[in-house]
Amino acid sequence: MRNPANQGFIPPHGNYRKLLSYQKAEVVYDLNFRFCQRFLKKGDRTIDQMVQAARSGKQNIVEGCKASGTSKEMEIKLINVARASLEELLEDYRDFLRSRDLVIWDKDCREAKFVRELGNRSYTTYETYRTYVETRSAEVVANIAICLIHQTNYLLDQQIRRLEQDFLKEGGLRERMTRARLRARRQ
């Protein structure tokens, strides 16, 4: 283990695959990709928008985590972009259901609770949902997507709050550089 006094001013960063928010965003992307293939007509512009929103949700978590070592500001911005992209995707699913007079599940209905329970496992992948996504109706799959997006957004909201707290406590790169320089001068 490294001695904190000997550490550089760029902290360990970029381990996004361990983040539950990233894992959920990856499931949302995979589910969304398959939903678009199964239930939207080829050439529908909505497909590109939904796939890009899901991709942006996932990829901005990656980029934010990789930027975190040198820019807490960039990390916070990118995690917020991921959150905004998933909110856009959530609205696409609501529009899909509403425009077709299909039911949007209440968050406390039996089906939504079942999906939440599936997602409460310590590690979930698309495989956790594959059977349901590939065999159920568009209405069911869209509602599963809505549940998963809500879970992911909740995790991102928690992550953003934590990043804010960490920044207030530890500062950013300039503060770390100054502390490291002062420490080096004292030695």
Q: What is the largest CA-CA distance in the chain?
A: 71
- Evaluate whether residue 58 is within a structural domain: yes
Whether residue 187 lies inside any domain: the answer is no
**Eight-class DSSP state of 185:** H
Q: pLDDT (tens digit, 0 to 9) for every residue of the chain, 187 residues total?
A: 444 444 665 565 668 999 999 999 999 999 999 999 999 999 999 999 999 999 999 999 999 998 877 678 889 999 999 999 999 999 999 999 999 999 999 999 999 999 999 988 767 899 999 999 999 999 999 999 999 999 999 999 999 999 888 878 876 667 766 677 677 788 8
* Structural domain range at position 66: 18-119+126-174
pLDDT score at 10: 58
C-alpha–C-alpha distance, residues 161 and 157, integer Å: 6
Cα–Cα dist 146/133, whole Å:
12
Report the predicted TM-score, pTM, of the whole model to 2 decimal places: 0.85
Query: Is residue 1 in some structural domain?
Result: no
- Cα of first residue to Cα of last residue in the chain, in angstroms, is 20
Q: What is the structure's pLDDT at 2? A: 41
- Looking at residue 5, its pLDDT comes to 46
Q: Does residue 135 form part of some domain?
A: yes
Looking at residue 9, the DSSP 8-state letter turns out to be S
pLDDT at 4: 47
Residue 66 located in a structural domain? yes
**Residue at 156: amino acid letter:** L
How many domains does the chain divide into?
A: 1
